[in-house]
Amino acid sequence: MFGKHELKTKFIKIYDKKIHLVEKSKDTVLYRRDNVEVFLKKSEDGLRILPAPASGYGVKFLMIKLSQKIAVPPKATLSGFLSAPIDIEVKAGNLTIDRFIIGREKYALYGQDNMGVIARYHVSEFNEREPDKLGVMRIIVENPSDEWRIVGRVVVPIGGSMMFYSKEKAYYPLVILTTKSIYEVNNTGNPPDGRLKATHTAEPLPNFKMRW
Amino acid sequence: MALNNTILGTELKFSWFSITLGTLIEAVLILFVSVFIGRVLRKVVIRASKTTRLPWIINQDTGDIIFRMFVLGGIIGSLYKIGLMAYRIAGTTVGNIAFAVGFFYFMYLIAKKSKDYLLMGAGRKPSSELQVQAKVFYYTILTVSFFLALNLAGIGTYLGAILAAAGITGIVLGFSAQTVVSNFISGLFMYFDKPLNIGDPVRIDNLEGIVEDMRILSTRIRSWDGTLIRIPNEKLFNSNIINLQRYPARRLDVKIGIAYDSDMERAIGVIRKTLDNMPLVLAEPEPLVFVEDLGDSAIIISIKAWAPSEKWFSVKTELLHKVKKALDEAGIEIPFPQRVNWFANELRVKVEGSKKNED
């Protein structure tokens, strides 16, 4: 599913969406997805189907609400996985010819109504093992304080973030949540697993302080 | 070597000044090196922000300020090298003025950043007292920087004369062009007050549209039907300005009447499910759906849901459409206004021609 596809007649199913490639002539292929159609001249580059951060209509944050809160003892670290929504980007060479949302799309306001941010919203449970979901985020919760800390949600900066993928699954970069007096989220930009491919290279994103 | 010296010494002549090729290359190098160092330092600061214990000082904003300082420094350095900064204007040099402008700009950035951190350090909701203190601090820094910049520009000694001249000019203008000056002053106040920015959708009295431009004397609004509205700044300043997109989220208030014989709980459930299936109805703050009133003809159900401000209109139209459709599909009636009349005495109906028939 993810990765390079040859430009020839075929169906590609991605979660709840279908991409249809139709060879129109020896040199051209029609790309079709829902109402989107792009006429492509064949090239050795082929077509790349890549996961993209779930920025939806253009938001820069992803808020994952935990269905069960997690409590971490002082000076302890907890590592696990969350399910996460993803978008899909279809590229010919470096040109994005289509971008779409798969699965459930929902947004929420993080913060106060006069100074918060709109974030993509998702509910996930905390898994100690990698869940069998299309989009996965590996998270490490570090508690450097001398008190127990509780985590009910994670707000991750995703604007322009790179993604990692295997043939069947998409992964966000490793996220480290540090439970200082104001929780701080670091989208490290590092792969959660060394065997995964990166969608592109990008500058590291600034840490995000969860003030609310 | 001699050839090199000859090439570098080649003089480029323009109508108003001349420069050697060597000097021009040096100027470009100064600019290039400054931008390069600025970029490197910006990267270093951003990387350091991930591990620092002083995130309020070492962060992306600081990196950006350092980068801009180096770029501006490079531009000024290059212009000095070329010799453009030595030109004299009004008893001072262009270099002094450029340096003063640069100084004021960075003091403005530092003051703004300090004000923001003062407020952020106060936790979730800074008190109004702290907000006032932060503003006083900000404007004090700006005022002091302004006068320091005037000194750096080399026109500080003329300050008294400038202020006196400005006062006299103000009086003269005040009498001769009261409306123009009033619009100008209002424009200045609007600039600092910032109730709206270019691109904001706004409602001003009974006018609505997008702020297209903010000029010295007037503000231009592009109304929803594509016409241009020019509002004098004085009038705008005295109007009630409603900025429809100042905050990230905006609430939708919708009321729907259902028939008295409908199941209220079921209707609320159907509406909640519809809202949950709409991506742009925000999950947090959670939408409220409740019975607001028992009206004359219907049970009034109120919906209060939040949407991203820039999507508010499309969400509202979609919400009305989807809620109506969902209620129809669930067999819940949205009734017409109706009235039941009761009569105190029994009604007698006289049918025309009835007596004749009896006979």
DSSP-derived pairing of the beta strands B299-308 and B288-294? antiparallel
Extract the tokens encoding A156. Answer: 């991750």
Per-residue burial over B158-194, b = 16 or more CB atoms within 10 Å of its CB, e = otherwise: eeeeeeeeeeeeeeeeeeeeeeebbbbebbeebeeee
Q: How many angstroms separate the CA atoms of A83 and A61, rounded? A: 15
Chain A CB within 8 Å of residue B145 CB: no
Query: Which of B247, B280, B311 shows the shortest C-beta gap to A114?
Result: B247
Q: Which of residues 102-131 of B touch A (CB under 8 A)?
A: 120, 123-125
Extract the tokens encoding B109. Answer: 């950035």
- The fold adopted by the segment(s) B249-329 is Alpha-Beta Plaits (3.30.70)
A–B interface: beta-carbon pairs under 8 A: 64
> Do the chains contact at B248 and A105, CB–CB below 8 Å?
no
Chain A CB within 8 Å of residue B274 CB: no
Q: Please report which helix (H) or strand (E) contains residue B95, including its range.
A: helix B94-120
Residues of chain B with CATH 2.30.30.60: 178-243
Residues of chain B with CATH 3.30.70.100: 249-329
> Do the chains contact at A116 and B248, CB–CB below 8 Å?
yes
DSSP conformation class of A128: S
What is the percent of chain A where pLDDT is above 70? 100
Compute the mean pLDDT over every residue in chain A, rounded to the nearest whole number.
90
For A9-64, what is each residue's pLDDT tens digit?
989 998 888 999 998 888 899 999 989 999 998 888 889 999 999 999 999 999 99
**CB of B332 within 8 A of CB of B262?**
yes
Lowest mean pLDDT among A4-8, A67-71, B117-121, B138-142: B117-121
Per-residue burial over B25-45, b = 16 or more CB atoms within 10 Å of its CB, e = otherwise: ebbeebbeebbebbeebbeeb
What are the start-end ranges of the E strands in B147-261?
201-204, 207-214, 218-223, 228-232, 241-243, 249-258
What is the domain partition of chain A in residue ranges?
47-210
User: Which of A207, A11, A162, A170 lies closest to A86, judged by CA?
Assistant: A170
> Do the chains contact at A113 and B248, CB–CB below 8 Å?
yes
Chain A CB within 8 Å of residue B203 CB: no
Extract the tokens encoding A116. Answer: 């918060």
Q: How many angstroms separate the CA atoms of A186 and B161, rounded? A: 55
Q: Round to the nearest angstrom and report the end-to-end CA distance of chain B.
A: 140
For A176-186, what is each residue's pLDDT tens digit?
999 988 899 99
- pLDDT band at B177; cut points 50, 70, 90: low
> Do the chains contact at A107 and B280, CB–CB below 8 Å?
yes
Q: How many angstroms separate the CA atoms of B92 and B98, rounded? A: 11
- pTM, 2 dp: 0.67
Q: How many angstroms separate the CA atoms of B53 and B57, rounded? A: 9
> Do the chains contact at B247 and A113, CB–CB below 8 Å?
yes
Q: Calculate mean pLDDT across residues B154-166.
A: 68
For an interface test with A, the pick among B42, B117, B280, B284 (most A C-beta atoms closer than 10 Å) comes out as B284
Pick one of 3.30.420.40, 3.10.450.50, 3.40.50.10490, 2.30.30.60 as the CATH number of B178-243: 2.30.30.60
- pLDDT band at B169; cut points 50, 70, 90: low
What are the start-end ranges of the E strands in B86-149?
88-89, 92-93
Q: How many angstroms separate the CA atoms of A51 and A49, rounded? A: 7
DSSP-derived pairing of the beta strands A175-178 and A135-142? parallel
Query: Which of B43, B124, B283 shows the shortest C-beta gap to A212?
Result: B124
Residues of A near B (Cβ–Cβ under 8 Å) read 56-57, 63, 104-118, 121, 184, 186, 203-204, 206-207, 209, 211-212
